[in-house]
Structure 1
Amino acid sequence: MSHGKQFTLYTHVGGPNGWKVALLLEELGLSYESIYLDFQKNEQKQSPHIDYNPNGRIPTLIDHKNGDFVLWESNAILLYLVDKYDTEKRLTVTDEKEKHILNQWLFFQASGQGPYFGQYSWFARYHPEKVLSALERYQKETQRVLGVLDGVLAKSPSGWLVGGKFTIADLSFYTWDRAAISSILKDVEGVDVEKQFPAFRAWHKKTEARDSVKKLTELQAGLRTQTA
């Protein structure tokens, strides 16, 4: 493994959780090398990745300038990176109560957004049988989560989740939200994200316009083309 970059990021071309870590590394201007694991070959469950991450899921981050410190679980990685490397606190908060609110959103993303959106993707793409009740459940849960976000964002003067600015709380949702808009809800009859969730959609577009997001969206599209 080359240590020319400060970080090694084990990730996946399509996996939303890996891309949100890459987004934060870009935002912080940190150097990293991405290793894209091939899930069809089960590389995430094999050495060397499994030696670092016993859960065998992505992302896994190795910080070579901190004694090759290894961390997995995407939101834990986000917290580590801002705690150690966001010295200006651009993407986090300092107020005690706001810190807890930021953590609240990270927990909600990890427990309420990622699993539901991910389960839809599983049943839509990989499950050997078509289970319509499962697809319907996760489509409805996706709409529910978007409704929670939309309701909170509609009351936020800044249009962000916490601290009156873009933070890792907002970033943590983006890659899975993109999947919801482009895939999960795209063909659901009667759902118009723009009209039904306007505050959410405005929030998503503001994040989408960031330089880091534009850069990595282009990179991901290129990688998808190469692996198609």
Structure 2
Amino acid sequence: MIDVYSWPTPNGHKVHIMLEECGLDYRAIPIDIGAGDQFTSEFLSISPNNKIPAIVDSDGPDGKPISLFESGAILIYLAGKTGLFLGNSDREKFNTLQWLMFQMGGVGPMLGQAHHFRIYAPTKIDYAVDRYTNEAKRLYGVIDRQLAKTPYLAGDEYTIADIATFPWTRSFANQGIDWADFPNAKRWFDEISSRPAVERGVKVLADLRKPLTDDKAKDILFGSSQYQKR
């Protein structure tokens, strides 16, 4: 059994989708990041960076429990555990990993900033809005050009690179994106959206999430609470 400590965010949904795609037995344990659950000592013991998701697999590589944080690392671990969605040859695996790193280092952080400054920032800063909206469009352009050549990000097969990237594109409107400008990415988005495991994965814990309107929750997520010594 795998316990996944998570919340219905793009990074959380990456792992929810992967678990559904792999058909693994798991239990979703909510970590309400608006309430500060990510700062409890219990959660920090498995996720020292106080970010979701994290997992505890009771059947680790040596038959003993293992805990992991960082969504990309979790996807690689689950791909290794099941032999799915990473590729078979070394060439395929490295190609998949480079697109996974593209998501981890670019798509997630930059689209997150676009979303923040366009939607959540208490003061509208035109420079920040323009900077991150333009970067979002640049990244979608990279994705669109790749998908003009191959059905999926890493080639002909669906991989953890697609699983990692897709949840971030679900908020395209909040990132200032018009799908009409990225037809290949839109084709990919629609195809992945319709996968049964993806449909199940994005519903995990989704009924617990509420609109972020509470000032205390905003401070926990974006304000001084993030920087307190623990």
TM-score, normalised via structure 1 length: 0.85
Q: How many angstroms apart in 1 are the aligned matches of 2:153 and 2:58? A: 32
Q: Deviations over 1:114-149 (max 9, x none)?
A: 000111222234433221211111111111001001
2:175 aligned partner, one-letter code:
I
Q: Give the structure 2 partner of residue 168 of structure 1.
A: 160
Residues 16 and 202, structure 2, Cα contact 8 Å, conserved in 1 = no
Q: Deviations over 1:157-210 (max 9, x none)?
A: xx112241111111110000112x242126xxxxx31x2111111011111010
Q: How many angstroms apart in 2 are the aligned matches of 1:183 and 1:50? A: 30
Q: Give the structure 1 partner of residue 217 of structure 2.
A: none
Q: How many angstroms apart in 2 are the aligned matches of 1:121 and 1:36? A: 23
Q: Which runs of 5+ in 2 are unaligned?
A: 214-230
Shift of 1:32: 1.1
- Are residues 1:9 and 2:7 paired? no
Q: Give the structure 2 partner of residue 83 of structure 1.
A: 80
Shift of 1:41: 2.2
Shift of 1:220: 5.2
Q: How many angstroms apart in 2 are the aligned matches of 1:221 and 1:34? A: 11
Residues 46 and 67, structure 2, Cα contact 8 Å, conserved in 1 = yes
Q: Which runs of 5+ in 1 are unaligned?
A: 1-5, 187-191
Asked which structure has the greater RCO (Cα within 8 Å, sep 6+), the reply is 2
TM-score, normalised via structure 2 length: 0.84
Spell out the pairing of 1:125-204 with structure 2 (5 A cutoff). 125-156=119-150, 159-179=151-171, 181-185=172-176, 192-193=178-179, 195-204=180-189
Residues 93 and 163, structure 1, Cα contact 8 Å, conserved in 2 = no
Moved over 6 A (4+): 225-228
Q: How many angstroms apart in 1 are the aligned matches of 2:35 and 2:212? A: 13
**Percent identity for Structure 1 against Structure 2:** 35
Q: How many angstroms apart in 2 are the aligned matches of 1:219 and 1:225? A: 14
Aligned with residue 28 of structure 2, among 9, 34, 38: 34
Q: How many angstroms apart in 1 are the aligned matches of 2:90 and 2:45? A: 36
Q: How many angstroms apart in 1 are the aligned matches of 2:196 and 2:212? A: 25
1:211 aligned partner, one-letter code:
P
Q: How many angstroms apart in 2 are the aligned matches of 1:47 and 1:105? A: 33
Q: Give the structure 2 partner of residue 111 of structure 1.
A: 105
Q: How many angstroms apart in 1 are the aligned matches of 2:166 and 2:204? A: 16
Q: Give the structure 2 partner of residue 189 of structure 1.
A: none
Task: Report the number of matched residues.
Answer: 210
